[in-house]
């Protein structure tokens, strides 16, 4: 929906995109990100391109390097037409919307504003209203509970959900309604569920949240991503973190997680 435009600072990058960037931050490296994207795509080319653009973007946000998303997007679209640029932006925008509660709004806003700066430089305007219904109109709690159940089937750790529900009921309600309902379920007109969960897993992996990353790697496979794709995602997160001088744990072995998932699903079936 159109709004009156306030004054925007002339030094756009310094004011909006790189404001949180540390002085000793590793310089943006297009060739590295292209290489990461190619390795990701090799795991399943028909499925992962252009999803890999979004996966790399959310991993940069999770690494507190949202400032690198704008030059990444700019390099991606500089030889493409307007409609293709808008399509890539829409995919990255939706991915950031899905993961920002996981990695934090301050880590995502530099990426968002940087993308705006690139679009403005290309003369591309967006004047769209929200796609999703208002929260109170969309039954997002029911949808969120259903999506959460689909994602976490066979993952294990039911005690985690129990403890959070018992001791943090308001946070749990917000998680079910807003994160898994409004955001994750609401993304399914852009992504498949397996893609949305892969985006979440990629962000959590890049954060270095090892325990949660294991769960979401299993969840990613449970909703339809292959072991090869998830292994490629883990390696992509490690390469981006290494570039950012933030080594990730080596204690995420996708083949082991795949076996854990298989065993958990067999137990669930046996308990019926």
C-alpha to C-alpha distance for 125 and 120, rounded to whole angstroms: 7
- Omega before 50 cis (within 30°)? yes
Q: Find the Cα–Cα–Cα–Cα dihedral 116, 122, 127, 128, rounded to 10°.
A: -70
Encoded tokens for 194:
């397996």
Task: For the chain, give the number of residues.
Answer: 272
In a domain, 65, yes or no: yes
214-254: per-residue pLDDT in tens? 999 999 999 999 999 999 999 999 999 999 999 999 999 99
Q: Which residue has the tokens 């072991």?
A: 227
Which of 1-15, 74-88, 176-190 is predicted least confidently?
1-15
Angle of CA points 197, 159, 215, to nearest 5° = 25
In a domain, 181, yes or no: yes
Indicate whether 60 and 18 sit together in one domain. Answer: yes
191-213: per-residue pLDDT in tens? 999 999 999 999 999 999 999 99
Q: Which domain holds residue 177?
A: 136-225+248-271
Local confidence band at 123 (pLDDT 50, 70, 90 cut-offs) = very high
Indicate whether 91 and 208 sit together in one domain. Answer: no
**Looking at residue 1, what is its pLDDT?**
47
164-182: per-residue pLDDT in tens? 999 999 999 999 999 999 9
Indicate whether 169 and 266 sit together in one domain. Answer: yes
Q: What is the mean pLDDT of residues 92-96?
A: 98
Indicate whether 93 and 219 sit together in one domain. Answer: no
The tally of CA atoms less than 13 A away on the side-chain side of residue 201 is: 31
> Among 70, 97, 122, where does a domain finish?
122
In a domain, 241, yes or no: no
In a domain, 75, yes or no: yes
Indicate whether 111 and 162 sit together in one domain. Answer: no
> Among 122, 149, 172, where does a domain finish?
122
Q: Which residue has the tokens 């325990």?
A: 211
pTM of the model: 0.95
DSSP 203-251: HHHHHT-HHHHHHHHHHHHHTT--HHHHHHHHHHHHHHHHHTT-PPPS-
């Amino acid at each position: 929906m159109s709004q009156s435009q306030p004054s925007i600072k002339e030094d756009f990058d310094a004011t909006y995109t790189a404001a949180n960037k540390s002085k000793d931050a590793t310089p943006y490296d297009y060739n590295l990100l292209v290489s990461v994207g190619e390795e990701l795509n090799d795991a399943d080319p028909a499925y992962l391109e252009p999803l890999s653009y979004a996966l790399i973007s959310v991993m940069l946000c999770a690494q507190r390097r949202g400032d690198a998303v704008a030059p990444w997007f700019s390099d991606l679209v500089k030889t493409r037409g307007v409609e293709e640029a808008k399509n890539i932006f829409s995919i990255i925008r939706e991915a950031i919307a899905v993961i920002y509660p996981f990695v934090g709004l301050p880590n995502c806003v530099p990426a968002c504003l940087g993308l705006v700066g690139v679009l403005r430089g290309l003369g591309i305007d967006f004047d769209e209203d929200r796609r999703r219904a208002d929260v109170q109109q969309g039954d997002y709690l029911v949808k969120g509970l259903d999506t959460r159940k689909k994602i976490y089937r066979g993952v294990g750790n039911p005690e985690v959900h129990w403890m959070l529900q018992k001791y943090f009921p308001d946070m749990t309600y917000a998680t079910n309604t807003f994160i898994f309902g409004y955001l994750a379920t609401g993304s399914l007109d852009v992504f498949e569920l397996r893609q949305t969960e892969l985006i979440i897993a990629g962000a959590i992996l890049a954060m270095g949240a090892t325990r949660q990353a294991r769960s979401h790697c299993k969840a990613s496979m449970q909703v339809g991503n292959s072991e090869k794709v998830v292994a490629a995602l883990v390696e992509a997160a490690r390469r981006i973190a290494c570039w950012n001088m933030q080594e990730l744990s080596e204690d995420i072995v996708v083949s082991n997680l795949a076996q854990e998932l298989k065993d958990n699903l067999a137990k669930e079936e046996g308990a019926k």
